[in-house]
Chain A
Amino acid sequence: MSERVVELEVLRYNPETDEAPHFQRYSVPCREEWVVLDALNHVKEALDPTLSYRWSCHMAVCGSCGMMINGEPKLACKSFLRDYRGVIRVEPLAHFPIERDLVTVIDDFVAKLARVKPYLIPKEVKPLEAGEYRQTPAELQRYKQFTLCINCMLCYAACPEYGLIPKFIGPAAISLAHRYNQDSRDGGRGERQEEIASAEGVWECSFTGACSEVCPEHVDPAAALQQVKIKSTIDWYLEHTMPWLNK
């Protein structure tokens, strides 16, 4: 197994001692097959134990290790060193306040997730004895793609509108709402629309498409948001021209 020395330029910030973030350079002996997360782990274990960052599964399913690598939102566990030349710049995920080093404050995202009611609100509440809510494979395909979200927030880091308008509910939260709206077992679309169809919801989206480009799970949030826009527009006209149809 071959080795190479990788230069990492990491944004550090200690809220107790620093006025502002600053870069720190590390020379890290790495194996060729490593990812950026391996390099960070080596820094923490052998070079600088004060470095703080989130990570967990190391296999792109937990969504913890999102950060900016050479200015691009990426999962550190999915960023292979062999794809990079020269100094690798590592910064905390964009558009979120920095808590410490590479750890961001994600409260805003978590609150928005809760606002969209990301859980099944059954059309008809069935008692246990009535059995399962049944669903055909075709009905599953209607929303399956949008279930793949691992809440890594790379889409929020990529979305320019979220960066400019922090109150925008954002790609992942709206895609998750769409996932439940598209679920044949669900009847909660009306409730979710109160949040999603608001000015802070889907209407802040300008279809930049950056969210889908950076999504590591191919959820395609941009597609979800455009579909929500079309459905919301149809809704608006139905509500305003035929209000008696109201559910």
Chain B
Amino acid sequence: MAKSNKPVVWGLFAAGGTVAAFITPALVVLALLAATGQIPPLLSYDRLHAFAAHWTGKAVLFGIVFLSLWHAAHRLRVTLHDFGARCDTAIAVAVYLLATAGSIACIVILFRI
């Protein structure tokens, strides 16, 4: 019985889940503050642009987006199977391709800043 290669995606799923658990709620609160008129200073164009222009800002933003995408991708693959889908290989290819596309898009966009 060959050992599976699932550890790769599972590791990303676990890391992404941990990051999302700790960080996402606070990010949503920031967005809600911005949406209701009390824009946090960091979310103003000048400050956020300066943050994303620096390599640490790029790293932070990429890290959050990348890990969240791969967490969602792997869990979605398992969940679709739980909902009755049986074409696991096709679904796996689809979700991981989407996560890859999102990751690449993130890098491309970040380097435009």
> Does a CB–CB distance below 8 Å link A and B in the complex?
yes
Seen from chain A, the residues whose Cβ lies within 8 Å of a Cβ on chain B are 160, 164, 193-195, 197-201, 203, 206, 229-230, 232-233, 235-237
Q: Are B5 and A198 in contact (CB under 8 A)?
A: no
> What is the interface residue range for chain B against chain A?
10 to 19
Given A160-B82, A233-B11, is A203 in contact with B1 using a C-beta cutoff of 8 Å? Answer: no
User: Given that A233-B10, A233-B11 are contacting pairs, would A197 and B4 also be in contact in the complex, using a CB cutoff of 8 Å?
Assistant: yes
Taking CB atoms and an 8 Å cut-off, the chain B residues in 70-93 that contact chain A are: 78, 81-82
Chain B residues with CB under 8 Å of A160's CB are 82
Q: Which of A195, A203, A230 has the most CB of B within 10 A?
A: A203
In the complex, residue of chain A having the shortest beta-carbon distance to the beta carbon of B86: A164
Q: Give complex CA distance A162, B24 in Å.
A: 33
The total of Cβ contacts below 8 Å across the A-B interface reads 41
Q: Please provide the 8 A-B residue pairs with the shortest distance between their CB atoms, ordered closest to farther.
A: A236-B7, A233-B7, A198-B1, A203-B6, A197-B3, A199-B4, A233-B11, A203-B4
Among A160, A164, A199, A201, max chain B CB count under 10 A is at A199
Q: Quick check: A237 and B7 within 8 Å, CB to CB?
A: yes
Could you tell me which residues of chain B, from 5 to 36, have a CB within 8 Å of some CB in chain A? 5-8, 10-11, 14
Q: Which residues of B contact A (CB under 8 A)?
A: 1-8, 10-11, 14, 78, 81-82
**Contact indicator B7/A195 (Cβ below 8 Å):** no
A236 vs B3: C-alpha distance when bound (angstroms): 9
Name the residue in A193, A200, A229, A235 with the highest tally of chain B Cβ atoms < 10 Å from its Cβ. Answer: A229
CA distance A118 to B11 in the complex (A): 27
Interface centre among B4, B14, B78, by most chain A C-beta atoms within 10 angstroms, is B4
Asked if A203 and B10 make an inter-chain contact with CB atoms under 8 angstroms apart, the answer reads yes
In the complex, chain A residues whose CB is within 8 Å of the CB of B6 = 199, 203
Do A198 and B3 contact each other (CB < 8 Å), given the known contacts A160-B82, A206-B78?
yes
Some 22 contacts from A to B, beta carbons below 8 A apart, are A160-B82, A164-B81, A164-B82, A194-B1, A197-B3, A197-B7, A198-B1, A198-B2, A198-B3, A198-B4, A201-B1, A203-B6, A203-B10, A206-B82, A233-B7, A233-B10, A233-B14, A235-B7, A236-B7, A236-B8, A237-B7, A237-B11
